[in-house]
């Protein structure tokens, strides 16, 4: 079984986090997890191919935004809230608030 790369807290870079969250689909995924907690990959209803979804999740994981946990054949996604808050206080909260406000327009 292939091990998934997750950067250590001190390796998470602001530019990588911002780049990962700059895509509307990835931002929507993170907002959904923030609202409902850890979810399996198959939970998200997005109009993209499975391979594209894998790419988006890998981008979020490698940037240090999410943690992917394997359980059997499923992968569960959660936000690395504590790591992001410790490294960049208020950043994720600000981005998700701005996304919520812009989504309601």
pLDDT tens-digit series, residues 20-65 = 999 999 999 999 999 999 999 888 888 888 899 999 999 999 999 9
Q: What is the CATH number of the domain that holds 58?
A: 1.10.10.10
pLDDT tens per residue across span 71-80 = 888 999 999 9
Report the relative pairing of strands 39-40 and 74-79 from DSSP bridges. Answer: antiparallel
CA distance 5 to 28: 22
- 105 assigned to some structural domain: no
Mean of pLDDT values over 7-27 = 96
* Domain annotation covers residue 7: no
Residue 19 within any structural domain of the chain: yes
**pLDDT band for position 105 (50/70/90)?**
low
Quote the domain boundaries for residue 60: 12-99
- 45: in domain: yes
Asked, for residue 65, whether it belongs to a domain, the answer is: yes
Number of domains composing the chain: 1
Please compute Rg for the chain using Cα positions: 13
Instruction: Give the pLDDT confidence score for residue 2 in this predicted structure.
Output: 75
Overall pTM surpassing 0.85 (yes/no): yes
Cβ atoms of 26 and 58 closer than 8 Å? no
Residue 4 falls inside a structural domain: no
> Is 1 a member of any domain?
no
pLDDT class of 1 with cuts at 50, 70, 90: low
Q: Which residue has the tokens 């907690």?
A: 37
């Amino acid at each position: 079984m292939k091990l998934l790369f997750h950067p250590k807290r001190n390796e998470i870079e602001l530019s990588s986090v911002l780049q990962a969250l700059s895509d509307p689909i990835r931002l929507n995924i993170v907002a959904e997890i923030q609202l409902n907690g850890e979810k399996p990959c198959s939970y998200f209803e997005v109009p993209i191919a499975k391979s594209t979804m894998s790419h988006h999740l890998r981008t979020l994981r490698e940037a240090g935004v999410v943690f992917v946990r394997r359980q059997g054949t499923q992968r569960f996604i959660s936000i690395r809230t504590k790591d992001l808050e410790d490294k960049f206080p208020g950043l994720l909260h600000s981005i998700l608030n701005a996304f919520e406000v812009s989504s309601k327009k």
